[in-house]
Amino acid sequence: MEIYEQNNNRYYNAPPRPKTWLASSILTTIFCCLPFGIVGIVYAAQVSANYEAGRYEEAERASRIARNWTIASFLFGGGFYLICLLLYYIFGISLLTLSGITV
């Protein structure tokens, strides 16, 4: 953060606002993995609050943590859906074969 003075007043040049990941966290909570997504939402909500309070390092940290939980929610939820789909396909085909239906 740069500080400069003009007419005995200090002005601060704040760093750019970090990405909040709030929309991504909400979407992954709804569609992928509820527990991981909720943690992402909590940290995403802290980004703006910390930035507005001037705690820029904490805002960056909250943004990184929100990103990590959002990505983890997406990967865990996507992996879970993929495994369910594979199991449904494998066991569905085997049950059809056992019942005498050819695929």
Q: Is 88 within the bounds of a domain?
A: yes
CA distance 94 to 81: 20
End-to-end CA distance of the chain: 66
Instruction: Convert the pLDDT of each residue in 41-60 to its tens digit.
Output: 999 999 999 999 989 999 99
And the tokens for 86? Answer: 């594979």
Look at residue 8 and tell me if it is in a domain. no
Domain membership of residue 13 (yes or no) is: no
> Is residue 71 included in any domain, yes or no?
yes
Domain that holds residue 76: 18-98
- Over residues 47-103, the pLDDT tens digits come to 999 999 989 999 999 999 999 999 999 999 999 999 999 988 888 777 667 676 665
Please report whether residue 37 resides in a domain: yes
Q: How many residues does the chain have?
A: 103
Q: 72 lies in a domain?
A: yes
Does residue 28 lie within any of the structural domains? yes
Q: How many domains does the chain have?
A: 1
